[in-house]
């Protein structure tokens, strides 16, 4: 009981049987710092096969409740929660679960006809907040976004038992839309997702993640990926567009330390190679020529290997092979370049 917060326990309640129906529940009071008001009906305290309950709870500190659920390190912050849920045998219905916390609201609704399983079930979660940075700080989450945000998640199970996921995220940095199916495997092997990522300012993303050279230009990325036993299979291909620059890639990203063994085919088309390089580094010695290249890149032994990189640089046809050592100062890197035209 002490995780409910410091202070006295002052609860009053009743559980009254009725002549021809379930028991009637009524509880009010305080559990430490938490205020509770619950009412409803239930058939059996042991298995809760049938119940219909509404509840409201509030406390000046949600971190204690989160610690009980295994989320350690959350900062102290007040919360209120409203719940309206019922169960009839295998059918669990959550009509409303509303949480207010860290200047954000969380709304959950669910219908699970095969509870505790998810077969033929559906659930939706909507989160809206005024400051993502405060939300991240309180929950000790990684990231760099701040300002207003919203997140929508929908999960449903089709007739074949596949779980279909839909995601819609908006923040001051970017927006993300994704949909696909999620496998029941513990490591999500077999899951597949299609996604579209958009931002109206690469510069804003660069400022947040320490890439100050990124330009004040919109960006769009779309594609799909599948989770395999030993890799993430990038498909589609994944295409990124920034003004007149187009980058695409597909292949496998290994699920290994440092992504060892990853292999991707790529293509880049841009009106000015120097401008693209300048997004990330000093491009003073890079020729300001149009570029249209395709090739393959692999990651092995701490090196990036480039093979079959062919295409046009300006008016010249080029063929590039080589190895780029990632350890500074790039000692041992070597490239061969053939050019004609």
Per-residue pLDDT tens over the stretch 78-101: 889 999 999 999 999 999 999 998
pLDDT at 4 over 60: no
pLDDT exceeds 60 at position 5: no
Q: Which position has the token pair 């990330």?
A: 280
**Mean pLDDT of the region 282-305:** 91
Reading the block at residue 106, the tokens are 């969380």
If residue 235 lies in a helix (H) or strand (E), which one and from where to where? Answer: strand 231-242
Q: What is the mean pLDDT of residues 242-265?
A: 94
CA distance linking residue 304 with residue 261, whole number of Å: 10
pLDDT band at 2 (very low <50, low <70, confident <90, very high): very low
Please say whether the dihedral angle defined by the alpha carbons of residues 276, 279, 284 and 285, taken in this order, is positive or negative: negative
Q: Based on the number of CB atoms within 10 Å of its own CB, is 62 exposed (0-12), middle (13-18) or buried (19 or more)? A: buried
Q: Where are the alpha helices (DSSP H) in the chain?
A: 63-68, 132-139, 202-208, 273-278
Look at 163-167, 205-209, 304-308 and tell me which has the smallest mean pLDDT: 205-209
Instruction: Output the pLDDT for position 6.
Output: 53
Enumerate the β-bridge partners of residue 317.
312, 340
Cα 205 from Cα 212, distance rounded (Å):
9
d(CA 281, CA 52): 61
Q: How confident is the model at residue 327 (pLDDT cuts 50, 70, 90)?
A: confident
Greater confidence, 19 or 266? 266
Query: Average of pLDDT values for 25-54?
Result: 88
pLDDT, position 131:
87
Strands 149-157 and 219-227: unpaired
Share of the chain above pLDDT 90, in %: 56
How high is the pLDDT of residue 1?
35
Q: Which residue in the block uniquely carries the two structure tokens 């008001």?
A: 37
Q: Please give the Cα distance from 77 to 243 (Å, whole number).
A: 43
Average the pLDDT over 44-50 and give the result. 80
Rounded to 5, what percent of the chain is helix, strand, coil?
10, 55, 35
Q: What's the whole-number average pLDDT of the chain?
A: 88
Half-sphere exposure of 261 (CA within 13 A, CB side): 8
Q: What is the mean pLDDT of residues 49-68?
A: 85
Give the predicted TM-score (pTM) of the model.
Answer: 0.81
Percentage with pLDDT > 70 across the chain:
93
């Amino acid at each position: 009981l002490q995780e409910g917060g410091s202070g006295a326990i002052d609860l009053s309640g009743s559980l009254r049987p009725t002549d021809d129906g379930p028991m009637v529940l009524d509880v009010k009071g305080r559990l430490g710092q938490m205020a509770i008001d619950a009412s409803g009906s239930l058939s059996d305290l042991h298995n809760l096969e049938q119940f219909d309950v509404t509840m409201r709870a509030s406390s000046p500190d949600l971190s204690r409740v989160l610690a009980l659920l295994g989320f350690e390190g959350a900062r102290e912050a007040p919360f209120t929660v409203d719940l309206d849920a019922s169960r009839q045998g295998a059918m669990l219905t959550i009509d409303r679960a509303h949480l207010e916390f860290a200047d954000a609201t969380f709304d959950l609704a669910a219908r699970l006809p095969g509870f505790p399983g998810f077969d033929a079930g559906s659930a939706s979660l909507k989160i809206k907040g005024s400051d993502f940075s405060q939300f991240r700080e309180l929950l000790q989450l990684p990231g760099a976004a701040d300002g207003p945000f919203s997140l929508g998640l929908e999960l449903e199970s089709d007739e074949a038992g596949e779980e279909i996921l839909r995601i819609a995220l908006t923040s001051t940095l970017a927006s993300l839309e994704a949909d696909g199916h999620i496998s029941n495997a513990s490591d999500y092997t077999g899951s597949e997702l299609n996604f579209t990522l958009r931002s109206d300012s690469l510069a804003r993303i660069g400022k947040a993640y320490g890439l100050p050279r990124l330009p004040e230009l919109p960006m769009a990325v779309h594609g799909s990926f599948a989770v395999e036993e030993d890799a993430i299979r990038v498909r589609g291909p994944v295409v990124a567009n920034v003004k007149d620059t187009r980058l695409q890639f597909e292949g496998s990203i290994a699920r290994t330390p440092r992504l060892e063994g990853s292999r991707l085919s790529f293509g880049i088309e841009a009106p000015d190679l120097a401008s693209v390089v300048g997004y990330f580094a000093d491009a003073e010695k890079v020729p300001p020529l149009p570029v249209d290249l395709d090739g393959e890149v692999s990651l092995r032994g701490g090196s990036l290997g480039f093979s079959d990189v062919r295409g046009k640089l300006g008016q010249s046809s080029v063929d590039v092979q080589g190895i780029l050592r990632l350890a500074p100062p790039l000692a041992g890197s070597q490239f061969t370049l053939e050019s004609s035209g």
